[in-house]
Amino acid sequence: MISLPAPGLKRQDMIDIDGLPALPVTSIRGLAEGPVVLVVSGVHGAEYVAIQALMEVAGGLEPSVVRGGLIMIHPVNPEGFRERRATVLPKDGRNINSLFYDDTYDGPAARIARFVAGLQSTADFYLDLHTADLFEETAPLVCYPATGNEEVTQASRQAALVVDAPLMIKSSMAGAGITEAAKRGLPALLIKRGGIGGACPEAEVDLYRKDIINVLTHLGVLAGKPILPARPPREVFPLYLRSARQGVWRPSVSPGQAVAAGQLLGVITDFFGHEAERFMAEKDGQVLYGLTALSASEGDILLVY
């Protein structure tokens, strides 16, 4: 288990957790009292913009500007990072962010989730940073948990409002870090922004860094007032489009784009180009994120809008 350093100190260490690849952790404790915030990136090891942005924030912050404490893990899934694997921990093929407080599985991904959950129990806020995964494209969005009591929900939602994203989702995905944190009384946020096909452009890293600093300022770990976005994120209630088959995916819309009920969202064809499945929008909305890969498998999320 990691504990915060003595007041006024910063540490950057590789932390071993029983037989798994060591995790890079930056911990900082300010001289003044304040909240303790746990910030993680790279739970999905190929979400590079989030990983790079948190590395830069962790490198740049000094104890003199921190009130309370910060524990930052960047990334949580270094094995996925090394192997350029989307979504899962390569060792067991499981998604760490679906295994928080899961007592039915004890493999490596669950042990990493347990380690992060242990740190959550020492923190006052949990911030989980994501990017479009290797085969995704996303509009900037922020999710706050629906699974806590009213006070936890409101504290999470207030923090979401300082994120520079057009869209905000109230989320209750089972086993996810923010969902389970909120159930146990910890306000939390998940931000997802930037990256397409594994790219990590500096401009997107800059925007992400600003979001992280703004949330930390809002929470009072950093002094000052957050720079509020020109327009706060708009709350949306997304629909998930899943593929019923393996095939060739051709989307007709992209993240950020508005769609109208009845509009064509995309088609799945076979290798001869014969249409096998056609997806139309059930209601008006805006595309949040989607699969950019040509290849779709049964059960894949094709589009969220």
Bond into 75 cis (ω within 30): yes
The number of angstroms, rounded, from the C-alpha of 245 to the middle of its chain's C-alpha atoms is 27
Choose between 120 and 131: whose C-beta lies nearer to Zn ion. Answer: 131
Say whether residue 10 binds Zn ion (CB under 5 A).
no
CB 44 → Zn ion: shortest distance, Å?
A: 4
Say whether residue 193 binds Zn ion (CB under 5 A).
no
CA distance 239 to 219: 31
Q: What is the DSSP letter of 88?
A: S
CB 43 → Zn ion: shortest distance, Å?
A: 6
Which stretch, 11-19, 37-45, 250-258, 282-290, contacts Zn ion (CB under 5 A)? 37-45
Work out which of 10, 74, 94, 130 binds Zn ion, going by CB under 5 A: 130
CB 115 → Zn ion: shortest distance, Å?
A: 18
Question: In 43-176, which ranges are continuous DSSP H helix?
Answer: 48-60, 78-83, 108-120, 150-160
Nearest to 127 by CA among 88, 178, 78, 164: 178
For the record, the structure tokens of 130 come out as 């994501």
Work out which of 10, 23, 27, 44 binds Zn ion, going by CB under 5 A: 44
CB 213 → Zn ion: shortest distance, Å?
A: 21
CB 132 → Zn ion: shortest distance, Å?
A: 8
Say whether residue 85 binds Zn ion (CB under 5 A).
no
Distances (CA, A) of 219 to 135, 255, 301: 33, 29, 33
The footprint of Zn ion (CB under 5 A) covers: 44, 47, 130
